């Protein structure tokens, strides 16, 4: 059994270029005890049997599927980079986005990942949870851990081009709006974008312009609608209103 720091270092080794983008948020809430009933599935990825050093893969699948896919691609030679930014709440409050499966998969996947011999210059596979913005936000009494990925969370187009990256393969059913902000920046710099649904061959797509694209107020506006965690990432309890003696509603923080 490894501690949190040990697990994080396996997912984000010091000598790897892409480590600087790894998000530590979910690693701080890992359970640190092995669950014998849990089995990690590693699906075969037909679309990427051979590692392509000119490609970056973005896996945007629901829950632990994204980790499974990332580990499958790691077996092909890619470097998985977890970008999950929603905090796991281990308390009485129910989470709006259930990240328990991802946290467990990251923990269980540590052994698989440490057994693989991934090259230091391996291209990255960025892991996202496609459920990150599902569910109604700001529900009283719930733990609002919805989150977004911002252009600041991923390498810039010029950085990718300097690293020899020519194409981005998005492993998802559709391009979400927050991801479109990043992909359109890449596309505008001449990087080709491919979308890969299921195990089909990737198809080249043109990313359409999302609202507030390149606006300096975009991140501020989006984060206003989310709940920040004081120690990083997103996640906070939404206070429940309580009726006072004068029939006024008061919001109490649990």
Partner 1 sequence: MDAIFLYLVEFLVFIVALVFSFEFLIKWYKPLLSNRPLNRNKSTRYILGLLPIGSLGVILFTLRMLASFDVVDSFIYISMYLVLGIAWLFLGVTLMSGVFDLSWLDDALNLNNKAALIAVVGGFLGLTIIYSGANIGNGPGWWCVVFTGGLGLGAWIVLGLVINSCTKTFERITVERDIGCGIRFGSYLLASGIILARACAGDWTSFYRTTVEFIDGWPVLVLAGILILVELYYIHRAKSNKTNNTIFSSIFLGAVFIAMAIAIVYLLSLTSGNPIYRVALEVFWSLRI
- Which residues of this protein are in contact with partner 1, per CB under 8 A? 4-5, 8, 20, 24, 27-28, 150-153, 156, 158-159, 162, 185, 214, 216-220, 223, 230-233
Choose between 220 and 253: whose C-beta lies nearer to partner 1: 220
- Cβ contact 139:96 at 8 Å: yes
For residue 190, the minimal CB distance to partner 1 (Å) is 13
Radius of gyration in angstroms for the set of CA atoms belonging to the chain, rounded to a whole number: 19
Q: Which of 74, 60, 67 is nearest to 122 (CA)?
A: 74
- C-beta closer to partner 1: residue 78 or 147: 147
* Nearest C-alpha neighbor of 159 from the set 13, 24, 18: 18
Q: How far is the CB of 151 from partner 1 (least distance, A)?
A: 5
CB of 2 to partner 1, least distance (A): 13
Q: What is the DSSP string of 217-250?
A: THHHHHHHTS-B-TTSSB-EEPPEEEE-TTS-EE
The dihedral over CA atoms of 10, 16, 18, 20, expressed in degrees to the nearest 10, equals 80
Tell me how far, at minimum, the Cβ of 123 lies from partner 1, in Å: 19
Least distance from partner 1 to the Cβ atom of residue 23, Å: 8
Nearest residue (CB) to partner 1, 125 versus 148 = 148
**CB-wise, 5 or 120, nearer to partner 1?**
5
Rank residues 100 and 223 by Cβ distance to partner 1 and give the closer one.
Answer: 223
For 11, 72, 83, 134, the CA distances from 80, given in Å and listed in that order, are 7, 9, 10, 24
């Amino acid at each position: 059994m490894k501690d949190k720091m040990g697990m994080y270092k396996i997912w984000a080794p010091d000598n790897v270029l892409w480590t600087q983008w790894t998000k530590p948020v979910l690693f701080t809430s890992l359970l640190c005890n092995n669950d014998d009933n849990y089995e990690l599935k590693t699906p075969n990825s037909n679309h990427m049997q051979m590692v392509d050093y000119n490609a970056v893969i973005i896996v945007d699948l629901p829950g632990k599927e994204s980790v499974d896919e990332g580990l499958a691609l790691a077996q092909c030679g890619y470097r998985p980079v977890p970008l999950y930014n929603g905090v796991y709440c281990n308390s009485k409050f129910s989470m709006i986005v259930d990240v328990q499966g991802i946290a467990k998969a990251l923990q269980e996947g540590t052994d698989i990942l440490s057994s693989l011999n991934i090259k230091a210059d391996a291209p990255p596979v960025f892991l996202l949870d496609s459920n990150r913005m599902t569910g109604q936000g700001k529900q009283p009494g719930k733990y609002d851990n919805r989150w977004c990925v911002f252009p600041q969370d991923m390498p810039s187009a010029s950085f990718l081009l300097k690293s020899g990256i020519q194409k981005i393969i998005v492993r998802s059913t559709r391009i979400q709006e927050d991801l479109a902000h990043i992909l359109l920046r890449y596309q505008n710099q001449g990087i080709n974008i491919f979308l890969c649904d299921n195990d089909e061959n990737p198809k080249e797509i043109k990313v359409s312009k999302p609202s507030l694209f390149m606006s300096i107020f975009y991140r501020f506006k989006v984060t206003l609608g989310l709940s920040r965690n004081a120690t990083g990432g997103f996640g906070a309890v939404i206070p429940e209103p309580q009726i006072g003696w004068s029939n006024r509603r008061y919001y109490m923080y649990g």
